[in-house]
Chain A
Amino acid sequence: MSVNNVVKRCEALFEDLDFNAVKRWKAAAPGRKAIGYMPIYVPREIVHAAGMLPVGIFGGGDQMEVIQGDAYYQSYICRIPRSTVELGLTGKLDCLDGMLFPSICDVIRNLSGMWQIMFKDKYVKYFDLPQNYDDATGGSFYIHEMRTLRDDLAALGGADITDEKLKASIAVYNENRKAVRDLYAYRAQKPWQAPTSEVYLVLRAGGVLPPEDHTNLIREYLVEADREKRPQRDNARVVLTGSFCEQPPLGLIKSIEMAGCYVVDDDFQLCQSWLLDDVPTTGDPLEELSKAFLHRSTQTASKYDDRKEDKGKHLLRQVKTRGAEGVIFAAASFCDPALLERPMLQEILAKHKIPYTAFKFAENTGQMAPIREQAGTFADSIKLWSAA
């Protein structure tokens, strides 16, 4: 399959708001179940070990007209909850047997309760992630959260989720995370060969495909992308940050690239790269997942930084290891975590003399000209500074 075909397949999955891939997966064997999860992080291993398909729900994007969803939210609330409600009310999420709402922010937290009221026949869980990183304290609480999820899904699926099943699922996701890390490394090395508009689609496919298939897809994309001869441009290398929940429209990513930026790192699909290395498949699986979360996971605005000096470390690491020349803050409008975090990160970047620019978007932003102009000016200024 050529790289174009791989990307086309991913694009079809991305655009399919009826989740036909999920429906096909469920139809392939009787009794199969699918569990949706909202952005940032849930331990998908537990869903997978239950024999269920974890399905990433990232709102309705710019292809869906939100009508009913708007009736549930004031104008000053971001768009992802309203388009997610729209997906639910229009029956597009009927293929899901449950939904997980991780602790991202107050809006998604409240959406978990709304979901309990609006979709009474579905399994709904608010999944609280610890903000205390001691094994005995935050770890114990987190293991209890995971054990509850494990018991709930076992009851829903009618089969025990054994430690052996969990360990096997951890191994599957270790492979997937390794593939994602390879994809990010390849893009940072040759961003002209693997543009972010493609990488993003390959990642988004992970929201609807089983992890084994997604790992193969990433591997295939890496092979095919490397075969292509694509022109290398004198673009500015940037890290894009702040888009960890509501996703920017694909057109926005393309616009940034067309404006002269190579996006060499991002936080679009944090769930896939949240754990920074392999989770051991020996020992108690929930304990190992907990340790990975507490001690070897990424930073983002929804997660507390225990020490002042830790703030911005991950972003600085992204800039350094990816060889980035600047940072684009792209936050969804009314996104509390991203917008409250932004001034702190900007201050740190300024101290390190790393240039940055910032704008807001909504998942249905249609006017790309201002963003293209801003990103273009930013890229030009980076090139001028670096030449000086």
Chain B
Amino acid sequence: MSTAAAAKKQVIKEDAMWLQKELINRNYHEVATAHSEGRKISATFVPGNLNELLMCFDFARRLPETDALQNGMRKKSGKMIMDAERDGHSEDVCTYVKSDLGMMLQGQLGPTGEPMPHPDILLLSYTGCFTFMKWFELVRQKYDCRTVMLHVPYQGDGKINPAMRRYVVNQLKEKVIPALEEVSGVKFDIDRLREYMRESVKAEEDLVAVLQTAKHRPSPIDGYFGAVYYIGPMFTAFRGVPEATRYYSVLREEVEARLREGKGPVTPDGDHPGEKYRLVVEGPPNWTSFRDFWKMFYDEGAVVVASTYSKVGGVYDFGFRHDPEHPLESLADYCLGCYTNLNFPQRIDMICRYMDEYQADGLLINSIKSCNSFSAGQLLILREVEKRTGKPAAFIESDLVDPRYFSAANIKNRLESYFQMIKQKRGVKNEAVAA
């Protein structure tokens, strides 16, 4: 056995992680074989992902963002990005987009090595990210895919007003559903949508329960590195699917067992070595060096207790659930409420609330070059959160799937300094209490 293979075998995974891996691989296979089995393929985005609706039309479902991150984790995205840049795409723009376009240029093989056929419809759910619009326009231009826009207004005033909800619902009724019917040849059945939503609610309850276990000390989960696995089924092609409900039920049982046993999170190297620092993280992770990045935290005893990225495909922890009794309005509220569709004061309030409720020692911002939706203005978030909580915040920079923008030494140095700063602050606080 080669050293690499041995190392691969030693990666520790929870049972739920294996279940999820099965789900993902099965979905890639469904996409690969969809056309030969007479099924149509949809593509849409993680924020504002209308999975229950798409299932009503029997689509095999692709999410180009997760294709990109899967390619990133498998170290394939670097070449894809460079291919897209050689094809005329600017070095300044989102690397998810370039990874997706590069994957197509390389011959349409998906992350698992199976074929990745062109989608039959691009559901442009334009929620919280301007780049989505251009991304699907680019795909449409190149591959002539049918595109349907769902414009989700931004919460500029920090609230959802009835006109915003009405606008989204009208688009669903007048544009989106007719287009999905036309492409799929399946008539829309609102009761089928309700049924999927009932399934979603169960999974949403379990996901929230899992994420909120991090309020305990020690936290049995990592709310960022671990949470990206936990949110996987919910945010992608599986919300509303009974297997996903089972996944969340198993996950909850596992996590609650760890909580009862006073255990920390599971890391790729086994049990967490012991919780020394509790952090809130803002911003998406880097995918190309995901494990190395995570290791920098658990090696130092850091646990992320809450993160904003784990809310990018839906904010459930403040009470929102899909509502089978008002399915279209509920889809609208879901889209309107995704994290990057919140305005800055809302985002800052949310982070401060996490800092308090999860008893965090500080805030870490991972600023992603590709993602202006998250990143533009994060330095103000840092200042405001420090001002309001009195806890230290730190700032690192990386990228989603461009390996050229992950400087391990630099990030490690910054993290180590940050942990020292937290330690010093704690020392000062303890001295003050003693005095």
Residues in B neighbouring A138, C-beta threshold 8 A: 151, 167
B344 touches A103 (CB 8 A): no
Stretch of B126-134, B186-194, B303-311 contacting A (4+ beta carbons < 8 Å): B126-134
B369 touches A125 (CB 8 A): no
Q: Which of B88, B89, B345, B375 interacts with A77 by CB under 8 Å?
A: B375
B131-168 near A? 1/0 per residue, CB < 8 Å: 10111011011001001010101101100010110110
Q: Is B109 in contact with chain A by the CB < 8 A criterion?
A: no
Given A117-B345, A126-B343, A308-B144, answer yes or no on A144-B163 (Cβ-Cβ < 8 Å): yes
Q: Which of B92, B147, B345 interacts with A334 by CB under 8 Å?
A: B92
Expressed in whole angstroms, the Cα–Cα distance for A107 and B372 within the complex equals 6
A336 touches B131 (CB 8 A): yes
B162 — nearest CB in chain A belongs to which residue? A144
Q: Is B105 in contact with chain A by the CB < 8 A criterion?
A: no
Residues in A neighbouring B124, C-beta threshold 8 A: 304
Q: Is B12 in contact with chain A by the CB < 8 A criterion?
A: no
Q: Is A2 in contact with chain B by the CB < 8 A criterion?
A: no
Most B CB atoms within 10 A — which of A73, A116, A132? A132
A68-79 near B? 1/0 per residue, CB < 8 Å: 000111101100
Q: Which of A113, A127, A301 interacts with B343 by CB under 8 Å?
A: A113
Nearest chain A CB to B390 CB, angstrom units:
18
B173 — nearest CB in chain A belongs to which residue? A137
Expressed in whole angstroms, the Cα–Cα distance for A89 and B329 within the complex equals 41
A219-259 near B? 1/0 per residue, CB < 8 Å: 00000000000000000000000000000000000000000
A132 touches B380 (CB 8 A): no
Expressed in whole angstroms, the Cα–Cα distance for A337 and B376 within the complex equals 15
The A-contacting residues of B in range 315-357, CB under 8 angstroms, are 343-348
Residues in B neighbouring A136, C-beta threshold 8 A: 170, 174
A108-138 near B? 1/0 per residue, CB < 8 Å: 0111111011100000011110111010111
Q: Is B257 in contact with chain A by the CB < 8 A criterion?
A: no
Q: Is A141 in contact with chain B by the CB < 8 A criterion?
A: yes
Nearest chain B CB to A340 CB, angstrom units:
4
Q: Which of A72, A101, A116, A344 interacts with B379 by CB under 8 Å?
A: A72
B367 touches A308 (CB 8 A): no
Given A109-B154, A126-B157, A306-B149, answer yes or no on A74-B93 (Cβ-Cβ < 8 Å): no
Q: Is B13 in contact with chain A by the CB < 8 A criterion?
A: no
Q: Size band of the B side of the interface? A: 35 or more
Expressed in whole angstroms, the Cα–Cα distance for A336 and B134 within the complex equals 9
Q: Is A207 in contact with chain B by the CB < 8 A criterion?
A: no
Q: Which of B144, B154, B174, B344 interacts with A128 by CB under 8 Å?
A: B154
Q: Is A163 in contact with chain B by the CB < 8 A criterion?
A: no
Q: Which of A113, A337, A344 interacts with B345 by CB under 8 Å?
A: A113
Q: Is B384 in contact with chain A by the CB < 8 A criterion?
A: yes
B409-432 near A? 1/0 per residue, CB < 8 Å: 000000000000000000000000
Q: Which of A110, A308, A344, A360 interacts with B377 by CB under 8 Å?
A: A110
Most B CB atoms within 10 A — which of A73, A335, A340? A340
B130 touches A105 (CB 8 A): yes
A109 — nearest CB in chain B belongs to which residue? B154
B370 — nearest CB in chain A belongs to which residue? A76
Expressed in whole angstroms, the Cα–Cα distance for A140 and B147 within the complex equals 22
A127 — nearest CB in chain B belongs to which residue? B156
B343 touches A116 (CB 8 A): yes
Q: Which of A76, A117, A141 interacts with B167 by CB under 8 Å?
A: A141
Q: Size band of the A side of the interface? A: 35 or more
Expressed in whole angstroms, the Cα–Cα distance for A311 and B137 within the complex equals 9
Expressed in whole angstroms, the Cα–Cα distance for A144 and B167 within the complex equals 10
Q: Is A6 in contact with chain B by the CB < 8 A criterion?
A: no
A105 — nearest CB in chain B belongs to which residue? B130
A333 touches B345 (CB 8 A): no
Q: Is B212 in contact with chain A by the CB < 8 A criterion?
A: no
Q: Which of B87, B88, B131, B369 interacts with A76 by CB under 8 Å?
A: B369
Most A CB atoms within 10 A — which of B89, B141, B345? B141
B228-271 near A? 1/0 per residue, CB < 8 Å: 00000000000000000000000000000000000000000000
Q: Decide if the interface of chain A is mainly helix, strand, loop or mixed.
A: helix
Residues in B neighbouring A301, C-beta threshold 8 A: 134
Residues in A neighbouring B345, C-beta threshold 8 A: 113, 116-117
Given A117-B345, A336-B94, answer yes or no on A72-B377 (Cβ-Cβ < 8 Å): yes
Residues in B neighbouring A158, C-beta threshold 8 A: none
Residues in B neighbouring A101, C-beta threshold 8 A: 156
Expressed in whole angstroms, the Cα–Cα distance for A308 and B148 within the complex equals 11
B170 — nearest CB in chain A belongs to which residue? A137
Expressed in whole angstroms, the Cα–Cα distance for A304 and B138 within the complex equals 12
A89-104 near B? 1/0 per residue, CB < 8 Å: 0000000000001010
Q: Is B175 in contact with chain A by the CB < 8 A criterion?
A: yes
A323-343 near B? 1/0 per residue, CB < 8 Å: 000000001011111011111
Nearest chain B CB to A146 CB, angstrom units:
11
Q: Which of B93, B170, B346 interacts with A340 by CB under 8 Å?
A: B93
Expressed in whole angstroms, the Cα–Cα distance for A132 and B149 within the complex equals 7
A292-313 near B? 1/0 per residue, CB < 8 Å: 0000000001101110100100
Expressed in whole angstroms, the Cα–Cα distance for A81 and B375 within the complex equals 13
B167 touches A113 (CB 8 A): no
Nearest chain B CB to A129 CB, angstrom units:
9
Q: Is B359 in contact with chain A by the CB < 8 A criterion?
A: no
Nearest chain B CB to A108 CB, angstrom units:
9
Given A72-B380, A110-B376, A336-B93, answer yes or no on A132-B344 (Cβ-Cβ < 8 Å): no
Residues in A neighbouring B90, C-beta threshold 8 A: 331, 339-340, 342, 360
Residues in A neighbouring B134, C-beta threshold 8 A: 301, 336-337, 340-341
Most B CB atoms within 10 A — which of A137, A306, A337, A347? A137
Nearest chain B CB to A64 CB, angstrom units:
20
Residues in B neighbouring A111, C-beta threshold 8 A: 376-377
The A-contacting residues of B in range 159-208, CB under 8 angstroms, are 161, 163-164, 166-167, 170-171, 174-175
B141 touches A131 (CB 8 A): no
The 6 closest A-B pairs by CB, nearest first: A113-B344, A126-B156, A340-B134, A141-B167, A131-B151, A144-B163
Give 13 CB contacts A-B under 8 Å.
A76-B92, A106-B376, A109-B373, A112-B156, A113-B343, A114-B344, A114-B380, A126-B154, A136-B174, A138-B151, A140-B163, A336-B131, A360-B92
Given contacts A131-B133, A336-B93, A344-B138, 4 further A-B contacts (CB under 8 A): A77-B376, A137-B175, A343-B88, A343-B138
